Structure 1
């Protein structure tokens, strides 16, 4: 990847992950549930009894959240730049939906490996997770196309 593409992916990823996170926080507030991915990641890390401070686990939750977003947008970039998919709003919706399904599977696995699960509405969490990933995909596309 050249420097232009790296910047394109980094900015698209940062914007998409931030917008997605803001949407998750809004849904959390409206539903009075903990649907905040970085907080849930920190919770999982705490349950794994890693030998790092609580603050480090919280920070690591945020870092992991943004790194996962970067991985998704890097995959989108590869699909778009190699012309496997056209960079369109429709493909971004499809990629967001696919990312949402992968996210749901990932969270199901994470929740299964910890002994004490968070007290959340799982169906509600997975529904909002799918929706915010579609928003993630569209946001990634809208920022990505600014560089085309």
Structure 2
């Protein structure tokens, strides 16, 4: 895998996951877009006005960088396991990343100082599927470069 392949897969998988979350949000009439939720958490936990003002930008940047981290984990798993890149393993890796994502969000939601109404279970179900979308789009991006 080349750096270009990684960068394109990162972009496609992260943007695709974000679009999936936006569609799910609109259909369910819930705020499930990861950058928006990250900005809410950042603003809620910040005593610094400049951070609170820039929370939305920081939320987007965090989401995009976390996409690179998750794709890096994805790549490391393939390197160390030596498994063929296929849809079964993409499903299993995506499921694992989904569980990791859910645990991470559970932790982040615990840090919010201000309480707000939120359907956590619905969000976690959505998040699992969003990570499958991420994983499959990353795999398709790799196939595209072969």
Q: What per-residue deviation string (whole Å, max 9, x for no partner) do you get for residues 43-65 of structure 1? A: 00001115225452111101110
Matched, 1:33 2:33: no
Alignment pair present for 1:15 and 2:4: no
Check 1:77–1:121 CA distance in 2 against 1; reply closer, same or farther (3 A cut).
same
1:33–1:144 Cα change, 3 Å: same
Within a 5 Å distance, the mapping from 1:31-110 to structure 2 comes to 31-51=28-48, 52-110=50-108
Give 1:10 deviation, angstroms.
1.3
Q: Which residue of 1 aligns with 2:141?
A: 143
Give the SS at the match of 2:2. helix
CA RMSD of aligned residues (A): 1.5
Task: State how many pairs are aligned.
Answer: 145
Q: Normalising by structure 2, what TM-score?
A: 0.91
- Structure 2: tracts of 5 or more residues without a match: none
- Per-residue CA deviations over 1:56-115 (Å, capped at 9, x if unaligned) read 211110111011111111121222234433211111111111111001000100011112
2:9 & 2:95 partners in 1: Cα distance?
Answer: 17
Whole-angstrom distance in 1 between the partners of 2:2 and 2:11: 14
For the residues of structure 2 that align with 1:90 and 1:101, how far apart are their CA atoms? 17
User: Distance between the aligned counterparts of 1:50 and 1:135, measured in 2?
Assistant: 35
In 2, the alpha carbon distance for the partners of 1:91 and 1:41 equals 29
Aligned partner of residue 127 in structure 2, secondary structure: helix
TM-score normalised over the length of structure 1: 0.90
From 6, 12, 16, give the equivalent of 2:3. 6
Structure 1 residues 2-38: Cα deviation after superposition (integer angstroms, max 9, x where no partner): xx62211111011011111111111111111000100
Contact 2:42 2:52 survives alignment (8 Å): no
